Structure 1
Amino acid sequence: MKVEEKQAQIYKPKEARMDAEDQVKKYFDWIDYMVFAIMLIVSALVGVYFAFFAKIKQNTTSEYLMGGKTMGIFPISMSLIASYISGISLLGIPAEMYTYGTQFWMTLVSEVFVAIIMGYAILPVFYQLKITSTYEYLNLRFSNTVRMLGTIMFLAKMLLYIPIVIYVPALAFITGINLHLVTPVVCIVCIFYTTLGGLKAVVWTDTIQTAVMFGALVITVVVGTVRVGGVKEVWKRNSEGGRIEFFEMDLDPTIRHSFWTVTIGNFFYWLASCSINQAMVQRCLAMPTLASARITIGILVVGLWVLVSMCCYMGLVIYAYYQKCDPVTRGWIDKSDQLLPYFIMDTLGDIPGLPGMFVSGVFSAALRYLRILLQDLIKPRLKRPLTEAQASFLMKMIVATIGVICVGLVFVVEKLGTLIQAAGSIGAITAGPLLGVFCLGMFFPGATPEGALVGGLLSGAFITWISVGSQTDIAHGIIRFPQKSVSVEGCSADWVADYLSITLSSDSPKKVPEAAFFLYRISYMYYTPLGTIGAIAIGLVVSYLT
């Protein structure tokens, strides 16, 4: 029989949750904890090495922020990949495939075009100007006020987004470990190696984490596929479950994920995330030449195609394995975002250290984004220039201070809903307006400082309004998105006796309820395009009038 999502969520006996907790705990033993601890220790030691033992010390802002512009293609490429394959991707993408189907997989289509535009239209501008901060461009092109707008919007995004990145891996700890204890410990380690070792420490730590993450994914995908019965069986079960869907061509903008929303929306979002994101551009500018920077972008695209595809396929494997006994409905886990770690500990826990290897691979250096603060918020307000040693020390203090703030905000993040949509909605608040401001400067010679400032502010306010409104309606159940059906008919007989067959959603239409305000019902994937176009349009009008 089919029932509504609300009914499915209500029927979670306390005994089932307690049994599941005991069941999972036995898989995460001392070897897993040791593997995770080793990962944290290695990350900390990398910072110690570059701070005290490396031949070239991190005593200048050039060394600390740009790695002395001597970084190699391999570590920079791995760092770029690690920047995008965070815990949000590792846990959120498999859950997305399991819950909503494969349409999100088509986001990869737009990444090739983003790489071309970034490598041949945007990066050359930054290289020619020889700047260390992307927002220095806004000062050169417009004014210091516009530059400050860009910096403040960037800071706002990071303060909202970084807590998600820090919190999300904690979802992997479904073994009874206190979330509020684990998160600060991991964050402290991130602060430690970031403040001590600068960009080089972050890049090499990212490289190590990427290797561990890739290894854990490969093992999980291969072993999981074998235990399901092979690739054909995985695909067959997902096809039967209605999860194979790549070309939903409906143009309705209120459909959460269609071919158009994921390709168009992701194009703008990734263009903003890659081409004007300080953390990304900083790594590319750390390369000695523009040609080498373009190579790293190409490697980034290939790496993302591989890792994102593995995450997507992993979601199909998980559904194939739990096709007849959904862990969320059964009460074994609380959120679909916990499916991957639960699957690993449920089916692969007999492989010593693999759960710990996976969890350690989830963590990434979220705090690396905040090094822009010295250049854009501190230096312009000093009465006299700092020495290089003083500036380097101040930068480290800033990163540590902001890191502590982010730890506090983590405890707000756990109240949010679906990972992919929450992260996308929050990121779009500033991604679209910022991209629009940069486009005004690079591609519209007639754009004025007043136009850029007003366009960025009004566009940012508009996206904030619809993003907050949408998330509020979702939280209150006014907006609900249809999920793919699941079943518990294959669970234990005593439990099925009370609950024979169940699905997470009824055969409801694809479009969200009409009761919600139209703008709140627009797919979150369109927030960035709307923000970009809005900033450009308003900016051009104001520029013409002024």
Structure 2
Amino acid sequence: MEFTAIDYSIFAGLLVLSSGVGLFYALSGQRQRTPQEFLLAGRSMACLPVALSLLATFQSAVAVLGVPAEVFRFGTEYWFLGCSYLLGLLIPAHVFIPVFYRLRITSAYEYLELRFNKTVRVFGTVTFIFQMVIYMGVVLYAPALALNAVTGFDLWSAVLTMGLVCTLYTTLGGLKAVIWTDVFQTLVMLAGQVAVIVVGARRVGGMGRVWRLAEREGRISGIDLDPDPFERHTFWTLAVGGVFMMLSLYGVNQAQVQRYLSARSEREAKLSCYAVFPCQQIVLCLSCLTGLVMFAYDREHPLAATHRPGSSDQLVLYFVMDVLRDLPGLPGLFVACLFSGCLSTISSAFNSLATVTMQDLVLPHCPGLSESRVTLLSKLLALGYGLLCLGMAYVSSMLGPVLQAAFSIFGMVGGPLLGLFCLGMFFPCANPTGAVVGLLAGLAMAFWLGIGALLSSMGGAGGAPPANGTALPPAANLTAVLGTTLLPPTPAPPSPTGLQKFYRLSYMWYSAHNSTTVILVGLLVSLLTGPTPPAAVDPRTIYPVLPRLLCCLPRKYRQRLRWGGGPAQDADAVVKSNGVPNGLAPPGRQEEEEGQGYIRAAGTPAYAVQETSF
């Protein structure tokens, strides 16, 4: 189970081509000399590359290693997650994208200042940075550890090489390089998965035999309509709870919002969201089919006991190295597929972290910086976060069991951020105090639930892990923890009550639970401290839910449902007769300023939209 020279060549080719894309965009065109070019790709991207980049950003090792192992062990129940993709992508396309794009912002957290104030913006930014810094080191270290355990590939050579290559092309090429390398890496991911499915199915006797074997062994799951939220995976858990998880990723996460904003028009941004839907379904199908082929192959050609993987995150790699051992180059292609997912994720993290740090933390305190200085600082920030990623990977290797809690933070933080944006967009009465208190309450609830489930699973509260599988596996099982999808349904104490029952909530409901906490607490505090008056709300920051839901009513009644009423407060009237969004410069001046790298600064009062140069 070792690489050949051909395998190493294919893996090296992935790294060379990824670096080449960054060098190309660093040495051609505008050479990333302006903030618009470096952070938003000059707002010039077409929908297809944006869609593939959206797809690649959060695939990482979860789709390549996690989902096949889940299907191998527990069957195809996880496949129903695909039902959540429709609403999980339609809502961002028709709610979040129009609001973000028409405000002409660079960081998603600029919206929070326009809607609330600077304090809320800083709270949102710091929460996002905390989330991504922890996640990006882990997403680099986990697959390298699995690869080292299976193939003997040197662990730290892999970590350092991947981290440095990714830092190189992100720092030099900016968002445009990140998006185009995501496109290339997505194609490599798909090619690697297809190769494994085709070769594995042929060695078993075809996909028909794979399906029959899986069906005979009970791995083809039916629709489980049990509404119990404490069951780990049911149709409702995956199809409904998954919608909130998708919204936290594709609706308000800066890494994705930045891609929407890089599109050359709002229509292209929406089309990119539509295009992600079939791509997501294809990736999910390939991952699930890989799991079924693994299961059938294991029944036909079981591994010797001495070769059995020690943890579930190694299942796919053991299968690949066994089924492709006689085909030089294909193991290298699959490893390139695995690390393509990791590269796309951490490069997106570097770029989005550099953006929010510059836009939300540096520029508000240093408004007089020149364009060239802002661009240079943005590149240095991307470089700094790249080096921090390598440091986090090293820390990940040292933390042991404590690392299990760190992995859960990514999922725990996404829900409260979703709730904060929903509070601002859908509830005009919410005030800044309610937003801050609501976010803190959501984070407290998220950490309470996540850490409580962790301690319970480790025997700290009753000695038995929750039955739903939100318990985290052993420390070596890093990829499983990353995706929280590979967790075995171990027996639970009979009839758990109180907090033990609470800790058994399915991880798929975490985002919905935590975002709802933010909204309810935020609204309550806003009403107690005095709701935001209608005149103080910028209508461009509000999505008019009631008028849209009651669109059959006469216009005058729908108008009364708007916060503040009156044509001036009509949130639909974001485009004037000249086709320019409210508050923006006339077309000629707007294009001229964008070409020079001007980015609108979020300012107060709510209606005042400044045009400011770096």
Measured in 1, the distance between the counterparts of 2:313 and 2:232 equals: 18
Contact persistence 1:50–1:57 (CA under 8 A): yes
Mean Cα displacement is larger for which, 192-201 or 358-367?
Answer: 358-367
2:78 pairs with one of 104, 108, 113:
104
Q: 1:91 to 1:295 in 2, by over 3 A?
A: same
2:212 is matched with which residue? Answer: 236
Q: 1:505 to 1:136 in 2, by over 3 A?
A: closer
1:379 pairs with one of 360, 363, 383:
363
1:470 aligns with 2:453: yes
SS in 1 for 2:363: helix
Cα deviation digits, residues 341-362 of structure 1 (max 9, x gap):
2211111122221111111122
Q: 1:423 to 1:35 in 2, by over 3 A?
A: farther
1:245 aligns with 2:245: no
1:130 aligns with 2:104: yes
2:298 pairs with one of 317, 322, 330:
322
SS in 2 for 1:222: helix
Counterpart residue identity of residue 81, structure 1: L
1:541 pairs with one of 505, 514, 524:
524
SS in 1 for 2:294: helix
Measured in 1, the distance between the counterparts of 2:209 and 2:280 equals: 26
Q: 1:29 to 1:409 in 2, by over 3 A?
A: same
1:217 is matched with which residue? Answer: 193
Superposed displacement of residue 199, structure 1 = 0.5
2:23 is matched with which residue? Answer: 48
2:270 pairs with one of 265, 289, 294:
294
Contact persistence 1:247–1:259 (CA under 8 A): yes
Say which structure, 1 or 2, has more relative contact order (CA 8 Å, 6+ apart).
1
Q: 1:63 to 1:249 in 2, by over 3 A?
A: same
Counterpart residue identity of residue 528, structure 1: S
Measured in 2, the distance between the counterparts of 1:134 and 1:74 equals: 22
Superposed displacement of residue 381, structure 1 = 2.2
* Structure 2, unpaired ranges of 5+: 470-485, 530-614
Superposed displacement of residue 302, structure 1 = 0.7
Counterpart residue identity of residue 341, structure 1: L
Cα-Cα RMSD: 2.5
2:4 is matched with which residue? Answer: 29
SS in 2 for 1:322: helix
SS in 2 for 1:266: helix
Q: 1:114 to 1:482 in 2, by over 3 A?
A: closer
SS in 2 for 1:381: coil
2:328 pairs with one of 352, 359, 363:
352
2:60 pairs with one of 86, 89, 92:
86
Contact persistence 2:438–2:518 (CA under 8 A): yes
Measured in 2, the distance between the counterparts of 1:38 and 1:249 equals: 47
Contact persistence 1:249–1:259 (CA under 8 A): yes
2:116 is matched with which residue? Answer: 142
1:58 aligns with 2:42: no
Measured in 1, the distance between the counterparts of 2:181 and 2:249 equals: 21
Measured in 2, the distance between the counterparts of 1:327 and 1:109 equals: 35
Superposed displacement of residue 416, structure 1 = 7.3
Q: 1:150 to 1:507 in 2, by over 3 A?
A: closer
Measured in 2, the distance between the counterparts of 1:227 and 1:482 equals: 35
Superposed displacement of residue 438, structure 1 = 0.5
SS in 1 for 2:141: helix
1:368 is matched with which residue? Answer: 348
Mean Cα displacement is larger for which, 211-220 or 250-259?
Answer: 250-259
1:338 aligns with 2:318: no
1:38 aligns with 2:21: no
Superposed displacement of residue 468, structure 1 = 1.8
Cα deviation digits, residues 239-294 of structure 1 (max 9, x gap):
23222214222222222111121122211011010011111111111111111111
2:388 is matched with which residue? Answer: 405
Counterpart residue identity of residue 317, structure 1: V
Identical residues among aligned pairs (%): 39
Cα deviation digits, residues 378-416 of structure 1 (max 9, x gap):
11222x421111111111111221222222222454567
Superposed displacement of residue 461, structure 1 = 1.2
SS in 1 for 2:223: coil
1:530 is matched with which residue? Answer: 513
Q: TM-score, normalised by structure 2?
A: 0.77
1:455 pairs with one of 433, 438, 462:
438
Counterpart residue identity of residue 526, structure 2: S
SS in 1 for 2:364: helix
1:164 pairs with one of 138, 153, 159:
138
Measured in 2, the distance between the counterparts of 1:165 and 1:32 equals: 22
Measured in 1, the distance between the counterparts of 2:24 and 2:237 equals: 45
SS in 2 for 1:56: coil
Q: TM-score, normalised by structure 1?
A: 0.86
2:249 is matched with which residue? Answer: 273
